[in-house]
A and B are shown apart, each in its own frame.
Chain A
């Protein structure tokens, strides 16, 4: 379960690199707001700080849970979790000019998961996707979606990022914490959010993998429906 010491150290390094971005955004935005006496910038500053804190918290949760002999899983509604995540990320998405949509292909039974880890993983992954949104004239859409597969409920975040493929993800997983840009097609930064999310999901034996949803590519975890898990 989880990561070894070397991977944990690399995750910490990736996290430190990643945190430079929101802290820099806060520092420069505060500097500009101060020189312009612009109080409206405060909400943007506070939201950036919240997301950076969320990333740190998710990392700490992942490390703490790895130390436990066993995770206490409970039935969790994926639909409700994705709706909550979209709600939490909405303000950040607006700042990056992208739309967040929740796509559920049907009504799903609950999955067995560690609720806090699942919520933290998807908030952190969503943050990474939004931050990596290509800057362009047109709006981009990020989908929080789920669909059934023969292995379970594929739950993930999907977008229009170019070049996201299995080979790139495999290389990224091998390089994170050592390369400045482990997943350059997805994140111009260290991409720590992706690896923190993966670490949280690995604790539940549901690592991130490449997936497609409504012609978009993205990263997803395959979660076992609670009923199916009881039968196993």
Chain B
């Protein structure tokens, strides 16, 4: 699958990218919302893996912008975030509206679980 990984931390971005590439996927990694929009244009991803806490923008702002483009309205989004489940104020309706198929809490999600969550989509 073609994955657009939006992760602001360089070390984590590198680790997630290596793990997903090893699992046989193509990964485009962006650290910022703006880079992600450009990357999506170039790479036409099958799935987006998104951290909500980005520098300058937050992930929800990114999703509002991203979903405003007709060609990107159906790409599934997996949240992979540092925001704990008890702090994450995302309702079922919001998940549907933004096309969020899974919310993964980073500290509780190992690389294998991330790969499985992505492969469950295919």
Contacts and interface: CB of A to CB of B under 8 A. Distances in A.
Given A28-B16, A28-B110, A133 B10 contact: yes
A227 interface: no
Given A134-B32, A189-B82, A20 B107 contact: yes
A29 B56 CA distance: 27
Contacts, number: 79
Nearest to B112: A31
Contacts of A48: 11
B12 A185 contact: no
A23 interface: yes
A184 interface: yes
Interface string B95-117: 00000000000110011100000
B18 interface: yes
27 contacts: A21-B12, A21-B82, A24-B107, A28-B19, A28-B110, A29-B11, A29-B15, A31-B111, A32-B15, A32-B18, A32-B111, A35-B22, A36-B22, A96-B10, A97-B10, A135-B10, A135-B29, A135-B31, A162-B56, A180-B53, A181-B58, A186-B55, A188-B8, A188-B54, A188-B55, A189-B9, A189-B53
A189 B110 CA distance: 20
Contacts of A184: 55-56, 58
B11 A185 contact: no
A132 B55 contact: yes
Q: How big is the B interface, by class?
A: 20 to 34
A198 interface: no
B83 to A, nearest CB: 6
A20 B82 contact: yes
Contacts of B55: 132, 134, 184-188
Contact of A28 (B15, B22, B54, B82): B15
